[in-house]
Copies of this chain bind each other. A is one copy, B any other.
């Protein structure tokens, strides 16, 4: 039985590899921290978008999150079945569904935001250092936007 660690080679110097590894860790921690309200990162992002963009339909919400419309249907079904949001028929266009947060949805989102801040992001900031957090976020945003 060989107990020796394997050499990562040039993987340690690959931004993409380290980026993916970090992302998996962060999402895993997010799930643990937000477990009390039972929201995935994707569901959390949907609730935030609904809160900040009232009166929008499914397509608009989905596409701004990079979710394809067909895949957004089941996501909304899950949130709506838990009473966190509602589909309403638009009076101006009877094809589209306007998605709105319910009171329960707003309350859940508030709890989730608090959990994310106090448990998840706080620990993350402490890890990388307060003085580096904004630079990190800025670089990641640049990559996400302009790469």
Which of A's residues lie within 8 Å of B, judged by CB?
2, 5-27, 29-30, 41, 45, 48-49, 51-53, 56, 60-61, 64, 66, 113, 116, 120-121, 123-124, 127-128, 132-133, 135-137, 139-144, 146-147
Q: Most B CB atoms within 10 A — which of A5, A16, A137?
A: A16
This protein's copies in its complex:
2
Task: Give the interface SS of chain A, mostly helix, strand, loop or mixed.
Answer: helix
- By the criterion CB–CB under 8 Å, are B60 and A140 in contact? no
- Once bound together, how far apart are the Cα atoms of A2 and B92, in whole Å? 12
Given the interface pairs A64-B6, A113-B10, the reply to whether A18 lies near B53 with Cβ below 8 Å is no
Output the nearest chain B residue to A120 by Cβ-Cβ distance.
B16
Sorted nearest first, the 7 A-B pairs with minimum C-beta distance are A9-B52, A21-B144, A22-B143, A18-B140, A7-B52, A22-B144, A22-B140
- Once bound together, how far apart are the Cα atoms of A50 and B112, in whole Å? 43
- List the B side residues contacting A113 at CB < 8 Å: 10
A-B contact pairs, 29 of them (CB 8 A): A2-B60, A6-B56, A6-B64, A8-B49, A8-B52, A9-B48, A9-B49, A9-B51, A9-B52, A9-B53, A11-B49, A14-B116, A15-B26, A15-B137, A16-B26, A16-B30, A17-B41, A18-B141, A19-B26, A20-B41, A21-B66, A22-B141, A25-B144, A25-B147, A26-B143, A26-B147, A29-B147, A128-B143, A135-B135
